Amino acid sequence: MMKLLLTGFEPFGGDTVNPSEQVVEALGNQVVSGVQVRGELLPVDTGRAPQVLRAALERHQPDAVVLTGLAAGRPQLTLERVAVNVLDFRIPDNAGVQKHDERIEPAGPDAYLSSLPLGDILRAWKAAGIPGYVSDTAGLYLCNQVMYVARHALGAEVPCGFLHLPANPEVALGAPRELPYLPQQELNRGVQVVVETVAARLRARTATETEGVTGL
Amino acid sequence: MMKLLLTGFEPFGGDTVNPSEQVVEALGNQVVSGVQVRGELLPVDTGRAPQVLRAALERHQPDAVVLTGLAAGRPQLTLERVAVNVLDFRIPDNAGVQKHDERIEPAGPDAYLSSLPLGDILRAWKAAGIPGYVSDTAGLYLCNQVMYVARHALGAEVPCGFLHLPANPEVALGAPRELPYLPQQELNRGVQVVVETVAARLRARTATETEGVTGL
Amino acid sequence: MMKLLLTGFEPFGGDTVNPSEQVVEALGNQVVSGVQVRGELLPVDTGRAPQVLRAALERHQPDAVVLTGLAAGRPQLTLERVAVNVLDFRIPDNAGVQKHDERIEPAGPDAYLSSLPLGDILRAWKAAGIPGYVSDTAGLYLCNQVMYVARHALGAEVPCGFLHLPANPEVALGAPRELPYLPQQELNRGVQVVVETVAARLRARTATETEGVTGL
Amino acid sequence: MMKLLLTGFEPFGGDTVNPSEQVVEALGNQVVSGVQVRGELLPVDTGRAPQVLRAALERHQPDAVVLTGLAAGRPQLTLERVAVNVLDFRIPDNAGVQKHDERIEPAGPDAYLSSLPLGDILRAWKAAGIPGYVSDTAGLYLCNQVMYVARHALGAEVPCGFLHLPANPEVALGAPRELPYLPQQELNRGVQVVVETVAARLRARTATETEGVTGL
């Protein structure tokens, strides 16, 4: 059975919860559209997160990777278009480290575009009554970092990208300003649609390959 | 049985739905916490809306009034603090009328504060896991107008105020820019909590009055 | 000679400067369009500001009043439409006092509309190449308070209102997030146009009164 | 004498002016800090802009390139960090072409980071009393395109990057919503500081190279 790695992050920046952690709890270790989802929680620690991620890639050998994280303030679910080879933090990570204008991979390319089927996902969200859009920056914090690290570790043939979640009610209730938010159940549903769409793409590709046709 | 008038608006500004109309469909004509809710739909028509509203006040003789409307772009449910004696429209109403810097009531006071129990509602929302806040401007369109008209028509002893709803998914999917939104069910739940809180306040007051103590 | 009282505020909230103080330094005690401008600095102290303001009104007996303050985050110069009879502070004032949901004047009306010639000022700004707009909320901090206090103290025949300034470069450079800003010289110019417009209105009224015609 | 190519764009999207065009008029063809500035105006035409830009690079053989454009809505001057290999337009260009999710260079890398001295420029702005920051997305319209095209055409040793300008008063006065803006003179001053900083960097490098030391 094909495998999809789904990651979330632990809480950070003073929050007591992270909706991406709850997404992984809800959807990790389920079979969705014939694909085995493997959930992993990543630390908000710029030194350890890449290690944990690479170990998970090694262990699961996934056919696709959907990384998720919180972008408090975003009004809707957003697919990230690109991960940039820069670390530049507005706040320290959970280990107290605050990077300024450093490379993630000194010899790596300047950026990687997402290899998820962005257009398919937008259409599937719309059909499910879920507003969402493509974001042109994932920031320069841990979210951007793990997307870069995953894309750098994997070949272009493994669909891989990052999905930013708005606040959930708990995050919004604890925030000093009025944040857009969505019920956790709606966030889970949005990620479920992403996983189903990627799964459908994997199945279609496999079917095609069996017929001896190359490429997407 | 005590009565609470709950109003919403028809769609406007190019939208095909209005979440406040759906709220009235969901909660109108129910008994909530021992209070009979009467739902009424108001036209987005600066000439007719006050007539329809005043007729509803006359017909139902409500003990409390909760007016609702859409504020596309707001990130959470918001209670309006004040209605100002001004009409100044950014877009025409559904009858094609666009007011500029006119008074609602030429001889009326400059503004009315909400007489809903704002603090109680905020606390009840929080207890229900619903973020929300008090807004200091209801705009100068129909929402502000009907709040002013209702407060002007009623004595201070009838709790009366306006509640702005964020977009629902249908509004957000049809919008030219990325709007915060909430599932309609979550919007309904937020209004339900408002109605319950106002109902509890009415019951507490009645109990007190029976005991011969005046006031809130 | 007719007199116009122009006020600004001292710095607050961690800022080391307040552009409204610099406006008063630049324009106070000048003759503008035949009107004597009297500048006064108000403390960001909810207890003392009304006293200082009322003493200045008593001392100068102004024919018009233009109150100014900082609204960091606003993109342009803004005229406030209304002052509401509520104090509700997001941060303490400079004396450490933080009001929550209190009346300014327990027996006063719920709000006062600005009596400045808002339309004339917008037109004069436009003619001078200065973007600006009318704001529908002055917040519930000191700015709203002093506008309410001044309107409450003065009759409707004395033009009186509040003008919010965006950040200047010093405020923007010291801020934790990216604020819109204008050079102090441009802020001064915008206030100068307001003063000229109010002065022209006063002169026109005097001319009219001499001819025995009432009102504006 | 060393040469610096400074580009701006013609008006687009319904605007009658473009502050970046006015910057080029003000600063093009001057000597700044011992460096000859060459100004060029680029068309807002996704087909022609790369040709005009490449011809200008060919003709001037610049030692550094500073591309500028308008980002209406941005609150301050912003240096772009990265140009992404994607065209995805929200509005058509001036030739009526609207690209959707296309590559700029099918065989090019996913993105190029700016090779301007971003930290030096931020420090120089601050010293000059000019707020500004680094933006993590240049959008996916012409601005991003020309930055990508220039970085793709030039070696890494030619400092090259993009600078987004806020609206000027004319753009703000013509806009349907309230935009942050800066007087054109302040925009010119901000670009002048960028040019001076890049010029200083070029001179320092030349001095160093004369001494036989490589690199920045």
Q: How far apart are the C-alpha atoms of A177 and D12, rounded to whole Å? A: 36
Question: What is the spatial distance between Cα B32 and Cα C126, in angstroms, rounded to a whole number?
Answer: 53
Q: Report which DSSP code applies to B184.
A: H
H-run or E-run covering B61: none
Per-chain mean pLDDT for chain A: 94
Q: What does the longest C-alpha to C-alpha distance in chain C come to?
A: 56
CB D160 within 8 A of CB D151: yes
Integer Cα distance of D82 and A88 in angstroms: 13
Q: In this model, does residue C122 exceed pLDDT 70?
A: yes
- Whether the CB of B136 is below 8 Å from some CB of chain C: the reply is yes
- Residue B107 CA to residue D48 CA, distance in Å, equals 62
Cα(C17)–Cα(A69) distance, integer angstroms = 39
What is the pTM for the complete model shown? 0.94
Which of B56, B36, B84, B86 is closest to B153 using CA atoms?
Answer: B56
Q: Are D66 and D116 in contact (CB under 8 A)?
A: yes
Contacting chains of D (3 CB pairs or more, <8 Å) are A, C
Rounded to the nearest 10 degrees, what angle do helices A49-60 and A142-153 cross at?
40
Nearest-angstrom CA–CA distance, A5 and A63 = 8
Residue B151 in this model has a pLDDT that exceeds 80: yes
Q: Which of residues 80-119 of A touch D (CB under 8 A)?
A: 81-82, 84-86, 88, 101, 109-113, 118-119
Instruction: Assess whether pLDDT exceeds 90 at residue B139.
Output: yes
ipTM: 0.92
Sign of CA dihedral C73, C79, C81, C85: positive
Quickly list H helices, chain C: 19-27, 48-60, 118-127, 142-153, 169-173, 184-210
Which pLDDT does position B3 carry in this prediction? 97
DSSP chain A: --EEEEEEE---TT-S--HHHHHHHHHTT-EETTEEEEEEEEPS-TTTHHHHHHHHHHHH--SEEEEEEE-TT-SSEEEE-EEES-B--SS--TTS----SB-SSTTS-SEEE--S-HHHHHHHHHHTT--EEEES---SSHHHHHHHHHHHHS-TTS-EEEEEEPB-HHHHHTSSS---B--HHHHHHHHHHHHHHHHHHHHHHHHHHHTT----
- Looking at the complex, report in whole angstroms how far the Cα of residue D110 sits from the nearest Cα belonging to chain A: 6
pLDDT of residue A156: 85
User: What is the full per-residue pLDDT of chain A (216 aa) written as tens digits?
Assistant: 999 999 999 999 989 999 999 999 999 989 999 999 999 999 999 999 999 999 999 999 999 999 999 999 999 999 999 999 999 999 999 999 999 999 999 999 999 999 999 999 999 999 999 999 999 999 999 999 999 999 999 988 999 999 999 999 999 999 999 999 999 999 999 999 999 999 999 988 877 665 543 333
Q: How far apart are CA B15 and CA B146, in angstroms?
A: 20
Euclidean distance between CA atoms D161 and D83, whole angstroms: 9
Active-site annotation holder among B25, B143, B178, B196? B143
**pLDDT at res. B215:** 34
Tokens of C76: 């342009």
The model's pLDDT over C174-183, given as tens digits with 9 standing for 90+, comes to 999 999 999 9
Residues of D in contact with A134 (CB under 8 A): 88
Best A17, A22, A74, A76 residue to mutate vs chain B (most B CBs within 10 Å): A76
For residue A200, how many other CB atoms are within 10 A of its CB? 16
Q: Over 50: is that where the pLDDT of C68 sits?
A: yes
- Is residue B165 within 8 A of residue B1, CB to CB? The reply is no
Q: B113 and C109 in contact by Cβ < 8 A?
A: no
- Give the mean pLDDT of B96-102: 97
What are the tens digits of pLDDT across the range C168-202?
A: 999 999 999 999 999 999 999 999 999 999 999 99
Least CB–CB distance from C110: residue in B82, B101, B136: B82
Gap between the Cα atoms of B30 and B49, Å rounded: 24
The fraction of chain D above a pLDDT of 90, given in percent, is: 90
Residues of chain D found within 8 Å of residue A139, distances taken between Cβ atoms: 136
Give the mutation candidate from C85, C136, C152, C160 for the B interface (greatest B CB count, under 10 A).
Answer: C136
Whether residue C81 and residue B84 make contact (CB cut-off 8 A), yes or no, is: yes
Q: Cβ-count burial of D157 within 10 angstroms (0-12 exposed, 13-18 middle, 19+ buried)?
A: exposed
Residue of D74, D84, D100, D144 to mutate, testing the A interface (most A Cβ within 10 Å of its Cβ): D84
Q: Which residues pair with C37 in a beta bridge?
A: C4
Dihedrals φ, ψ of B76, to 5°?
-150, 175
Calpha distance A37→A31 (Å, rounded): 6
| Cβ-Cβ contacts under 8 Å for B207 (sequence gap 6 or more) | none
Query: Helix, strand, or coil here: B196?
Result: helix
Q: Residue D215: pLDDT above 80?
A: no
8 A C-beta contact, residue C96 and residue C192: no
Structure tokens at C136: 């529908």
| Partner-chain contact B173 A131, CB within 8 Å | yes
Quick: pLDDT tens for D129-145: 999 999 999 999 999 99
Q: Where are the beta strands (DSSP E) in C27-116?
A: 31-32, 35-42, 64-70, 77-80, 82-84, 111-113
Distances (CA, A) of D25 to D6, D121, D189: 10, 22, 13
Nearest Cα residue in chain D from C189: D183
Q: Which of A196, A197, A183, A195 is nearest to A22 (CA)?
A: A183
State how far the Cα of C200 lies from the Cα of A174, in Å rounded to an integer: 51
Residues from chain C that touch B82, judged by Cβ atoms under 8 A, are 82, 84, 86, 110-111
Which of C130, C170, C183 comes nearest D186 by C-beta? Answer: C183
Is the Cβ of D15 closer than 8 Å to some Cβ of chain C?
A: no
Q: Which of A40, A58, A102, A143 is catalytic?
A: A143
What is the band of D156 on the pLDDT scale with cuts at 50, 70, 90?
confident
Selection from C66, C92, C202 nearest residue C146 by Cα? C66
A216 touches chain D (CB under 8 A): no
**Could you tell me where the beta strands, DSSP code E, fall in chain B?**
3-9, 31-32, 35-42, 64-70, 77-80, 82-84, 111-113, 132-135, 160-165
Amino acid identity for residue B54 in this structure = R
Residues shown for chain C: 216
Question: Running DSSP on this structure, what letter comes out for residue C102?
Answer: B
- Give the A:D interface size as CB pairs under 8 Å: 51
Instruction: State the pLDDT at residue D209.
Output: 60
Give the span between the Cα atoms of D216 and D205, in whole angstroms.
Answer: 7
All residues of chain C having their beta carbon less than 8 Å from the beta carbon of residue D76 are 172, 178-181
- Chain C residue with minimum CA distance to D125: C173
CA-only gyration radius of chain D, Å: 16
Q: β-strands A35-42, A3-9: how paired?
A: parallel
Q: Is the pLDDT of residue D155 over 90?
A: no
Catalytic residue among A21, A40, A80, A160: A80
Is-catalytic flag, D80? yes
Alpha helices in chain D (DSSP H): 19-27, 49-60, 118-127, 142-153, 169-174, 184-210
The pLDDT value given to residue D205: 83
pLDDT tens-place string over residues D16-62: 999 999 999 999 989 999 999 999 999 999 999 999 999 999 999 99
Read off φ and ψ for residue C21, nearest 5 degrees: -65, -40
* CATH code for the part of the protein at C3-215: 3.40.630.20
Contact between B130 and A178 using a beta-carbon 8 Å cutoff: no
Cβ of residue A25 closer than 8 Å to a chain B Cβ: no
Half-sphere exposure (Cβ direction) of D196: Cα atoms closer than 13 Å: 13
Report the C-alpha gap between B117 and B68 in whole angstroms: 16
- Say yes or no for a CB contact (<8 Å) between A131 and B181: yes
Burial of D215 (0-12, 13-18, 19+ CB in 10 A): exposed
**Residue D214: burial class (beta carbons within 10 Å; 0-12, 13-18, 19+):** exposed
Residue D208 scores a pLDDT above 70 = no
Q: How far apart are CA A36 and CA A52, in angstroms?
A: 20
End-to-end CA distance of chain B: 20
Of A129, A166, A169, the CB nearest to B130: A169
Domain spans of chain B, in order of start: 3-215
- Average pLDDT, rounded, for chain D: 94
Bridge pairing between strands B31-32 and B64-70: unpaired
